[in-house]
Amino acid sequence: MPSIEELARQTEVLFASLGGRRFRVESRELLGRPDQYRAGFALRLADGRTICEVVYSDLEVTVRVAGTEVFGASSHPGFAGNMFSPEHLAEHLPKLALQIEPLLGNPSRDVV
């Protein structure tokens, strides 16, 4: 099973260049004790125009772009839901990133 630290790092790497952008990590917080199965993380990435927030908490993933939820309990394009065990999240993060990419819009215009 991947550690929460490893999942947070994998998410940073996958989301860093989505949509032709160059996101940088503004904040990174590990949630809960790292040895807990339901531990998680909160990432805030920005490229100067857009803020992307990824939260993995209590086995649920939520992604917000410019303050709007684009992946979560009520909207999870390409998936049956937004709950993932740590090992399944590691497996599905690349597909999740691909599903989020078109929702970022054109990198040449302001979205925020």
Tally of CA atoms within 13 A in the half-sphere of 106 that contains its CB: 3
Q: Which amino acid is at 5?
A: E
> For residue 105, what pLDDT is reported?
63
Q: How far is CA 100 from the centre of its chain?
A: 9
**Main-chain phi, psi angles of 38, to 5 degrees:** -95, 15
Enter the tokens of residue 102.
Answer: 């078109």
Q: For 11-70, what is each residue's pLDDT tens digit? A: 999 998 887 888 999 999 999 987 788 899 999 999 888 899 999 999 999 999 999 999
Indicate if the pLDDT at residue 79 is higher than 70.
Answer: yes
Task: Give the mean pLDDT of 63-84.
Answer: 93
Above 50 in pLDDT, residue 110? Answer: no
Instruction: Please check the confidence at residue 111 and state whether its pLDDT lies above 80.
Output: no
Domain ranges of the chain: 4-103
Predicted local distance difference test score (pLDDT) of residue 107:
47
pLDDT score for 34: 77
Mean pLDDT across 73-91: 93
